[in-house]
Copies of this chain bind each other. A is one copy, B any other.
Amino acid sequence: MSLSMGACPHAWRHHLQHRGHMWATSPAFRRQLFLLRSLAPTCAHGGRASSSSLQVHAMSAAAGPVYEADAEAVVRRITPPLDRARHKGQAGKIAVIGGCREYTGAPYFAAISALKVGADLSHVFCTKDAATVIKSYSPELIVHPILEESYSVKDDERESVSSSILAEIAKWMERFDCIVVGPGLGRDTFLMDCVSNIMRHARQANIPTVVDGDGLFLVTNNIGLVEDNPLAILTPNVYEYKRLVQKVLNCEVNEENASEQLTALCQKIGGVTIMRKGKADLISDGKKVTQVSTFGSPRRCGGQGDILSGSVAVFSSWARHFLLSNEQTTEKSVNPMVLGCIAGSLLLRKAASLAFEKNKRSTVTTDIIEFLGQSLEDISPAGR
């Protein structure tokens, strides 16, 4: 719809206003309106948004409006003040499950990004081969060499090894505010089985879980791992989203109906939050669709998705704590997983923009990570 309407702005605006009036009475619209109001939205010119200006903000897909999130307001609202009385760990403890013989950069990017956004502790659970390398990237991370791939496990030991891996990680699980499953995980079948067990355990322990990269490959082939889990976030790129739609909805991606399809996908899986990454990131939990379209960088170097998954883990933890500590307010109807996606998306885009400004075509993922701190400071100064 956004494509077909694009050619005729008058028809598009009329359509939105019309839809706005029709929609104004629906619970979904009221919830959306509330979310945007409660998070102190600003319009494009920096002023506070009125309910009527929301209609102008809205971008339409055939199935319903896609609102541009006031992502800066979300970041400001959920980022916790730096309280001198706080202890280590209270700003967030994140763990990344990933890193194998082949991939070590991705889990490092996700874990270091979590720290650079502001988490206190960042762990990586990976294979022995990967651990030495990931440790060498940075002394800031706590790296556990506990996963195994098929080649290092004898057939008759698979069950016992799998059990001891789960037991080892279970000791840690409840300490984490969020885990990220997938960066640099690879696709080894034994490792995939172990990670499936870890995901089931995290779910039982109510630990929010961001699924990216090879974790999405795992989940797409075993959707039960995230089905009906409101604490799960999937962050597919264009290719991963295509496979997810094919598998779950049994059809192809429909760009003209992007919003409706994303909503349907979330509903079919049941309760999960999905951030469909692209030129604009579309975010939905099956109830509404929000987008973040702030321009980041035209550079598409590999690794930016890992920054995003680590950032989303921190922000969704912060959003969850924020909403839990404000239980008396009506903001409890807001989904913290959605807020985490909005904030993570904006921060990556801001950091990528600053890194590109400095490094142009030679921008690599490490350059973007360097700007996470400044980007967050620009939006939500720590000293306030």
Question: What is A's interface to B at a CB cutoff of 8 Å?
Answer: 79, 82-91, 101-105, 108-109, 115-118, 120-121, 129, 132-133, 135-145, 237-238, 279, 295, 298-304, 356, 359-366, 372-373, 376-377, 381-383
A120's contact among B82, B302, B360, by CB below 8 Å, is which? B302
Q: Please provide the 10 A-B residue pairs with the shortest distance between their CB atoms, ordered closest to farther.
A: A362-B373, A82-B298, A105-B139, A118-B361, A116-B362, A360-B382, A136-B136, A88-B300, A133-B135, A108-B139
Selected A-B contacts with CB under 8 Å, 25 pairs: A79-B361, A82-B298, A82-B361, A85-B279, A86-B300, A88-B237, A88-B301, A88-B304, A90-B300, A91-B300, A105-B142, A109-B139, A117-B362, A129-B132, A132-B132, A137-B139, A139-B303, A140-B303, A140-B364, A140-B365, A359-B373, A360-B373, A360-B381, A362-B372, A362-B376
Shortest distance between the CB of A288 and any CB in chain B (Å) = 26
- Cα–Cα distance between A82 and B353 once the two chains are bound (Å): 13
Q: Which residue of B lies closest to A91 (CB)?
A: B300
Contact A83 B298 (CB under 8 A): yes
Shortest distance between the CB of A41 and any CB in chain B (Å) = 23
Contact A376 B361 (CB under 8 A): yes
Q: Which residue of B lies closest to A278 (CB)?
A: B87
In the complex, chain B residues whose CB is within 8 Å of the CB of A295: 84
- Cα–Cα distance between A302 and B92 once the two chains are bound (Å): 11
- Cα–Cα distance between A373 and B377 once the two chains are bound (Å): 26
Q: Which residue of B lies closest to A300 (CB)?
A: B88
Given A117-B362, A361-B118: A300 and B89 interface contact (C-beta under 8 Å): yes
Shortest distance between the CB of A229 and any CB in chain B (Å) = 28
- Cα–Cα distance between A54 and B361 once the two chains are bound (Å): 32
